[in-house]
A and B are shown apart, each in its own frame.
Chain A
Amino acid sequence: MSTDTIEPDMMEPDTAEKIATIPIGDIDVARPSLYQKDTIGLFFDRLRKEEPVHYCRESYVGPYWSITKFNDIMAVETNHKVFSSEAKLGGIAIQDMHSVEGALELEMFIAMDPPKHDQQRKAVSPAVAPSNLLLLEPTIRERACQILDDLPVGEDIDWVDKVSIELTTMTLATLFDFPWEERRKLTRWSDITTAAPETGIVESYEARRQELIECAMYFKGLWDQRVNEEPKNDLISIMAHSPATQNMPFLEFLGNLLLLIVGGNDTTRNSISGGVLALNQNPDEYRKLNDDPSLIASMVPEIIRWQTPLTHMRRTALQDWEIGGKQIRKGEKVVMWYLSGNRDDTVIDRADQFIIDRQNPRHHLSFGFGIHRCMGNRLAELQLRIVWEEIHKRFRKIEVTGEPERLLSNFVRGITKLPVRLHAR
C-alpha cells in the first residue's frame, strides 16, 4: 500500500474521538509533529486514563516506556539508583545522546549519575544560589526595563523575537558578565549545543564542532581575564575563583558552563511567550492579574506548569523494576512525560485549567524532582517575576493578534512565533 492512499487525518488524528479509535499499543507520543500541532495533550489524556504506564514498541527513536501520571513520575525521579541519567546509556532525552559518530559531545552533570553528578553539581551550584541572584537582580531589572521601554505600542510585532529571546539573552549576558554587544553569541551557542543537522540549525556535525571550538576559545579568554581580576559576582568569576571549580579541566568547565546556558535559554524564553498566550486564552485570568498584580507571585509558577518548557526527561533502567503494574526490564528506555503529569487531575486540582491564584502553585513537575531537580528554578522564577512586574507597569494588555507557531520538537515545548499588539496603560 502506498502512503498516499492513507488520509493524512488517519495518520495524524487531531480529535479525542479519532484518537480513541487507535489501538492503544500503536500510540506513539514521540512524534514531533504532535507537539507542533499541539494535539499531544489529547494523546496523553487517553494514556493517563487507559494505560498510564505505556510501552511503545516502534517509533523513530526505537522502543520506549511512557510514564504519564504525576506520582509514577515522582517514583522514577526519586529512584536514581534504578533509573540512570548516564549519557553513555543514552542520557536524558528520548532520543539517545552519543548516537552520532564524530559529534563533539560535552560532558554535563545533568547526564551523569552519582557520585560524579554530585561532585560537579556541588561545585557549580553556589553560582546560582539565591543569595547570589539577589545581587544580580537590579541589573537584570534595569535591562529588562530598557527592552520593554523600546517596544512600539499599537503596532504588530513578534513577541518571541522582540521580547522573549531578547530578555533571555540579556539575562544570560548579565549572569556571565558577557560582552554586551556580542550577547547574541550566547543564544547561538546554546542553540548549537543541542542541535542536530536535521533541525537546520547547523549544516553538519563538523560545522557544529567548529562553532563549539570557537565558543570554547571565547570562554577561555573570559576565564583568563576573570581569574586575574578581583572576584566579582558573575558566574565565570565565581567559578574562576572558587576552590571547587578553579582547577576543573577546561572541557569540564565548558560543559558545565554550556549546561547553565542551555538550561536557562529555551526554557525561560518559552515561559515568557507561553505566559502571554495563556493569559490571552484565559481573559478572566488576565483581568484578575490587572486588578491585583500581587498575583504575579503565584502566576509565575503556574505559567511554568502550564507551559512545561521541557516535555520530558528520560532515564534508562539499570535493573528490572515494576511501575504501575508494568514490568520494566533492565536496559529499557523510560520517559517521564512532565507535560502529561502536569495535567494529572488526580494530583493537581483542575489541572486542565490555567489559574493564576492557585493555593499550591509550585506543586508541578516542570523542574523535575530529586537529585537532578533544576538548579536554575529560582533564577527562572526571578526572571519571570521581573518581566511581569515591569510589563504590568507599562502595558494594559499584550494582545495576541494571530496564530502562534510552535516548535517541531518532542523535547523543548517551544513557541517560535507569537504576533502581538501592545496596549499602553
Chain B
Amino acid sequence: MVKVTFVSSDGTRREVAVAEGETAREAALFNNVPGIDGDCGGVCACATCHVHVDPAWIDRVGRLEQGNAEAELLQFAEGANEYSRLACQIPMLTKLEGLILHVPEQQY
C-alpha cells in the first residue's frame, strides 16, 4: 500500500492508503475524500478529480505537459494553477509514498 494525504481547503487532512499502481483518484474515491468526484471513470475526460500537488512534491509527481489531453481539460477548471494535476493521471508508485495533494476550494 502507498500512503497519500488529501488536504481540503479548510485545512482538514485525510491520510489514506491505496494499492501500488492504483491512481490518486482511486485513493480518494475508495476512502470517500470529499471534493474528488471522478465522474468520467478516470479516463481524463471530466476534470472532477482536479488537485493541487503540494509544491514540495510537484517535481516527483511531474508537471503538467502543455498541449496534452490533461492540460487541455485543466485549462477550464476553476482555480487551476502551476501545481494542478488530475488525480486520475497520477499512478501511486512507491516513490510517491507520503504524497500530499490539496483539494481546490472550488470543488465540492
A interface residues (Cβ-Cβ under 8 A, vs B): 74, 77-78, 114, 118, 121-122, 125-126, 129-131, 362-363, 369-371, 373, 375
Q: Which residues of A contact B46 (CB under 8 A)?
A: 369, 373
0/1 per residue, B34-63, Cβ < 8 Å to A? 000101110111111000000000000000
Interface of A: prevailing SS: helix
A122 and B108: CB pair below 8 A? Answer: no
Q: Which residues of A contact B105 (CB under 8 A)?
A: 131
A122 and B76: CB pair below 8 A? Answer: yes
A371 and B73: CB pair below 8 A? Answer: yes
User: A114–B73 Cα gap in the complex (Å)?
Assistant: 12
B75 and A118: CB pair below 8 A? Answer: yes
Closest to A301 in B: B39
What are 6 A-B pairs at a CB distance below 8 A? A78-B44, A78-B45, A129-B106, A363-B41, A370-B73, A373-B46
A131 and B45: CB pair below 8 A? Answer: no
A114 and B72: CB pair below 8 A? Answer: yes
Q: A-B contact count, CB below 8 Å? A: 45
Q: Which residues of B contact A130 (CB under 8 A)?
A: 78, 106-108
Q: Which residues of B contact A125 (CB under 8 A)?
A: 76, 78
Q: Which residues of B contact A363 (CB under 8 A)?
A: 39-41
Q: Which residues of A contact B107 (CB under 8 A)?
A: 130
Asked whether B69 is an interface residue with its Cβ less than 8 Å from the other chain, the reply is yes
A74 and B106: CB pair below 8 A? Answer: no
Q: A131-B105, A363-B41 are in contact. Are A371 and B78 (CB under 8 A)?
A: no
B69 and A78: CB pair below 8 A? Answer: yes
- Per the 8 Å Cβ criterion, residues 1-44 of B in contact with A are 37, 39-41, 43-44
Count residues on chain B whose CB falls below 8 Å from chain A CBs: 20
Closest to A77 in B: B45
Q: Which residues of A contact B41 (CB under 8 A)?
A: 363
Q: Which residues of B contact A114 (CB under 8 A)?
A: 72
B43 and A74: CB pair below 8 A? Answer: yes
User: A77–B44 Cα gap in the complex (Å)?
Assistant: 11
B76 and A371: CB pair below 8 A? Answer: yes
User: A373–B47 Cα gap in the complex (Å)?
Assistant: 10
- Minimum Cβ distance to chain A for residue B43 (Å): 6
Q: Which residues of A contact B106 (CB under 8 A)?
A: 129-131
Closest to A129 in B: B78
Closest to B105 in A: A131
Closest to B37 in A: A362
User: A292–B41 Cα gap in the complex (Å)?
Assistant: 27
The 3 closest A-B pairs by CB, nearest first: A369-B45, A362-B39, A129-B78
- Contact with B78, one of A118, A131, A362, A373 (Cβ below 8 angstroms): A131
- Minimum Cβ distance to chain A for residue B98 (Å): 29
B40 and A369: CB pair below 8 A? Answer: yes
User: A369–B88 Cα gap in the complex (Å)?
Assistant: 15
A121 and B76: CB pair below 8 A? Answer: yes
User: A369–B73 Cα gap in the complex (Å)?
Assistant: 10
- Per the 8 Å Cβ criterion, residues 61-108 of B in contact with A are 69, 72-73, 75-76, 78, 105-108
Q: Which residues of B contact A77 (CB under 8 A)?
A: 45
Q: A74-B40, A129-B106, A130-B107 are in contact. Are A373 and B75 (CB under 8 A)?
A: no
Q: Which residues of A contact B39 (CB under 8 A)?
A: 362-363
Q: Which residues of A contact B43 (CB under 8 A)?
A: 74, 78
Q: A129-B106, A363-B39 are in contact. Are A373 and B45 (CB under 8 A)?
A: yes
A370 and B45: CB pair below 8 A? Answer: yes
Q: Which residues of A contact B48 (CB under 8 A)?
A: 362
- Minimum Cβ distance to chain A for residue B42 (Å): 10
User: A37–B33 Cα gap in the complex (Å)?
Assistant: 43
Besides A126-B78, A130-B107, 8 more A-B contacts (Cβ < 8 Å) are: A77-B45, A78-B69, A121-B76, A129-B106, A130-B78, A131-B78, A362-B37, A369-B46
Q: Which residues of B contact A362 (CB under 8 A)?
A: 37, 39, 48
Q: Which residues of A contact B40 (CB under 8 A)?
A: 74, 363, 369
